[in-house]
Structure 1
Amino acid sequence: MTAALRITDLQSYYGKSHILQGVSLELGEGEIVTLLGRNGAGKSTTLKSAVGALTPRSGRVELSGRDVTGQPAHRIASAGLSLVPEDRGIFQLLTVEENLRIAVRRGSPWAMSDIYRIFPRLEERRRNGGGKLSGGEQQMLSIARALLGGPKVLMLDEPVEGLAPIIVEEIVDQIRLIRDAGVPILLVEQNLAVCRALADRHYILEMGRIVHVADAAGFARDPATIDRYLGVSA
């Protein structure tokens, strides 16, 4: 069966530093999969290598069976692989609605009405400037902009970092709605409660290598492995 996203033996460098050392993972249709690891393990580098923000030295990135390895970032985005970065990257001086409208892509299955259904806060604040939003609202806006491009796969880098628990719960529900709407999600996240609540499967990355793979049930039964690789009490 063709995976929504398949990464095979990815080798990536920053200068002479060998960061990704043979990373392989798969994301199936209808799945949420997490990529976990300590700071500096290579999680964000994996996402950047997949979307063309960093050109891998070798390996393969396939989107619905199509090889997109090393293509320019705009071509990979057009093919349907979308990354919501940790810094969110919204336009501070534009309103919420202006931020959204410039992201609309012809032929996308996502309309503004879909966005406002999943993110009602954005509709309430559609005339507010991007810089006037809370951190959680900015995160919602960043995810919503990515959806308007019609992604086949959505990758989220630390979407709930630093957010209040009530906002975290809201974003968790929104991520589920996006998956249920047919967009598989690769999630990098430090909040293990969020990962457990959302993910079908988990990969753990350490020093640029995948060191553990588990489904949700196996992950829940194995606190010793979680503590070993993530350095937290399960």
Structure 2
Amino acid sequence: MSAALQVEDIHSYYGKSHIIQGVSLEVRDGEIVTLLGRNGAGKSSTLKSISGLLTPKRGKVWMSGKETTGWPAYRIAQNGLSLVPEDRGIFGLLTVEENLRIAQRKSSPWSLKDIYGIFPRLEERRRNGGGQLSGGEQQMLSIARTLLNGPKLLMLDEPVEGLAPVIVEEIVDQIKKIRAAGVPILLVEQNLAVCTALADRHYILELGRIAYHGTGAQFIADEDARDRYLGVKAN
């Protein structure tokens, strides 16, 4: 199985603060991989370092075998990396369909029909303004809009944070459909039930370093690791 993303020993800084201290990970074609850790562990900063929003001072990043280390964010995005940020970033004054259409890339294999097939709730709300949507619907719109860019790799930063359980279930199902359509995913998420339902492999960050890596089955079986690094016990 080839790698959609390879990250090798990256080190990133905010000013003089050494935030990411030698992170290495990979996402293979067809996989969902989670990046876990307590608040402040460096999860979002790792995503920013991969996407070009934060430039690593050391280490290397490859996408589908092409080194992208040091590229500006727009060029990395053009190369097929899409990041759905925690703040969603939709346009509140535009309708759902306008939000989608302005994001659509001509070369994208995804059409509006495809999007509405995965997100029927968005089709129902297509004439509503982005600002009129619930938090869960805004999250769906943010993910859907990203798909219209035709990503080769999708990164999601806490997509179900603060959402009602019924909406969480809906988004989990949508993420499964996106993976089934051939888009590998790197997922940052605090909800362990979501992570274990979705992911093939798990990495745990602690103080800017990878402290644990295991398959889905290994992670579920390793209660000590979950308790030590995350301070939680899975159901």
Global fold match (TM > 0.5):
yes
Question: Is 1:128 the equivalent of 2:128?
Answer: yes
Deviation at 1:70, TM superposition (A): 1.3
Q: Which amino acid aligns with 1:223?
A: E
Query: Which residue is 2:193 aligned to?
Result: 193
Query: Which residue is 1:87 aligned to?
Result: 87
Q: Which amino acid aligns with 1:219?
A: F
Structure 1: gaps spanning 5 or more residues: none
Q: Which amino acid aligns with 2:49?
A: S
Q: Distance in 1 between matches of 2:152 and 2:139?
A: 20
Q: TM-score, normalized by length of structure 2?
A: 0.99
Question: Is 1:233 the equivalent of 2:211?
Answer: no
Q: Distance in 1 between matches of 2:83 and 2:72?
A: 14
- Structure 2 matches for 1:130-145, cutoff 5 A? 130-145=130-145
Query: Which residue is 2:32 aligned to?
Result: 32
Deviation at 1:2, TM superposition (A): 3.3
Aligned pair count reads 234
Deviation track 1:142-188 (CA, whole Å, cap 9, x = no partner) reads 00011000000000000000000000000000000000000000000
What percentage of aligned pairs have identical amino acids?
75
Deviation track 1:117-150 (CA, whole Å, cap 9, x = no partner) reads 0000000000000000000000000000110000
Q: Distance in 2 between matches of 1:110 and 1:74?
A: 20
Query: Which residue is 1:207 aligned to?
Result: 207
Q: Distance in 1 between matches of 2:24 and 2:170?
A: 31
Q: Distance in 2 between matches of 1:114 and 1:217?
A: 32
Question: Which of structure 1's runs of 4+ aligned residues deviate more than 4 A?
Answer: none
Structure 2: gaps spanning 5 or more residues: none
Q: Distance in 2 between matches of 1:83 and 1:60?
A: 19
- Structure 2 matches for 1:54-203, cutoff 5 A? 54-203=54-203
Q: TM-score, normalized by length of structure 1?
A: 0.99
Query: Which residue is 2:21 aligned to?
Result: 21
